[in-house]
């Protein structure tokens, strides 16, 4: 689902941004589709388990509204609460919420992407005999440099001698652990 944003009115100088990049004006149909998409996104939040909801970065007002909607049993009250959630959704940036929901729905995509990233780092480090480790260290400064160097040396030696890939696998697991830890410590994942 692509959530669109409307531009400022070109006729009113008070609405103008100082930004010179023009954005197209949305039609009424596009605006209504966008509002319905945001409301549907809000309704999906109501259906999440408490553990899943905790993984979504929500503003406090939206979080309270979602929790209130979960307690409602009367159809009309729930309908109004969903409308209210949609209104809140229109006032915030919904992209982080959409991304987090996508990650909850399709965790295998996230795991596959990380697997390929780890594999790429490992292959680069082995092929450059550790020269690319500085780029990794720059990106992940909390890494134990000595342990990384030892694992790279063992994997390079193993690669050159044609031995079974035990050290290469150890290097892969080490890099994967660093990336998992970095993902868990990423700021802004909780609200």
CA 109 to chain centre: 12
Tens-place pLDDT, residues 77-120? 999 999 898 889 888 888 888 888 887 887 777 788 888 888 99
**116 and 73 fall within a common domain:** no
Q: Residue 1 falls within a domain, yes or no?
A: no
Q: Residue 78 falls within a domain, yes or no?
A: yes
3-state DSSP assignment of residue 106: coil
| pLDDT on residue 99 | 84
Whether the Cβ atoms of residue 191 and residue 59 lie closer than 8 Å to each other? yes
* C-alpha span between 157 and 126 (Å, rounded): 9
**77 and 112 fall within a common domain:** no
Residue 174 — very low, low, confident or very high, per pLDDT cuts 50/70/90?
very high
Tens-place pLDDT, residues 55-65? 888 899 999 99
Tally the residues of the chain.
191
**119 and 68 fall within a common domain:** no
Tens-place pLDDT, residues 126-157? 888 878 888 888 888 888 989 999 999 999 88
**91 and 50 fall within a common domain:** yes
- Total Cβ atoms within 10 A of residue 179: 17
Mean pLDDT computed over every residue of the chain: 81
Among 105, 122, 141, the domain-final residue is 105
Q: Residue 157 falls within a domain, yes or no?
A: yes
CA 6 to chain centre: 24
* C-alpha span between 148 and 122 (Å, rounded): 11
CA separation, residue 91 to residues 5, 109, 147, 180 (Å): 11, 29, 48, 33
What CATH number is associated with residue 140?
A: 1.10.60.30
Among 57, 80, 105, the domain-final residue is 105
Q: Residue 75 falls within a domain, yes or no?
A: yes
Indicate whether 1 pLDDT > 70. Answer: no
**64 and 86 fall within a common domain:** yes
**78 and 118 fall within a common domain:** no
* C-alpha span between 129 and 15 (Å, rounded): 56
**117 and 138 fall within a common domain:** yes
**50 and 68 fall within a common domain:** yes
What domain range is 82 assigned to?
Answer: 28-105
* C-alpha span between 33 and 27 (Å, rounded): 10
Tens-place pLDDT, residues 3-41? 554 444 444 444 454 455 555 687 889 888 888 888 888
Percent of the chain's residues with pLDDT above 70: 84
| pLDDT on residue 190 | 42
Instruction: Give residues with Cβ within 8 angstroms of 61, minimum separation 6.
Output: 88
């Amino acid at each position: 689902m692509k959530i669109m944003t409307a531009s400022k009115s070109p006729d009113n100088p008070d609405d103008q941004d100082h930004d010179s990049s023009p954005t197209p004006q949305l039609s009424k149909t596009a605006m209504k589709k966008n509002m319905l998409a945001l409301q549907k996104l809000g309704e999906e939040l109501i259906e999440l388990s408490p553990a899943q909801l905790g993984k979504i970065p929500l503003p406090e007002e939206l979080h309270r509204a979602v929790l209130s909607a979960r307690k409602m049993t009367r159809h009309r009250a729930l309908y109004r609460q969903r409308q209210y959630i949609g209104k809140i959704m229109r006032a915030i940036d919904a992209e982080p919420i959409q991304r987090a929901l996508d990650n909850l729905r399709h965790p295998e995509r996230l795991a596959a992407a990380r697997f390929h990233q780890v594999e790429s780092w490992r292959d680069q480090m082995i092929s450059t005999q550790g020269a690319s480790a500085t780029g990794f260290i720059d990106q992940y400064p909390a890494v134990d440099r000595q342990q990384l160097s030892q694992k790279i040396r063992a994997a390079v030696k193993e690669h050159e001698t044609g031995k079974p890939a035990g050290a290469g696998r150890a290097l892969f697991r080490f890099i994967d652990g660093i990336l998992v830890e970095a993902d868990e410590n990423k700021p802004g994942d909780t609200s």
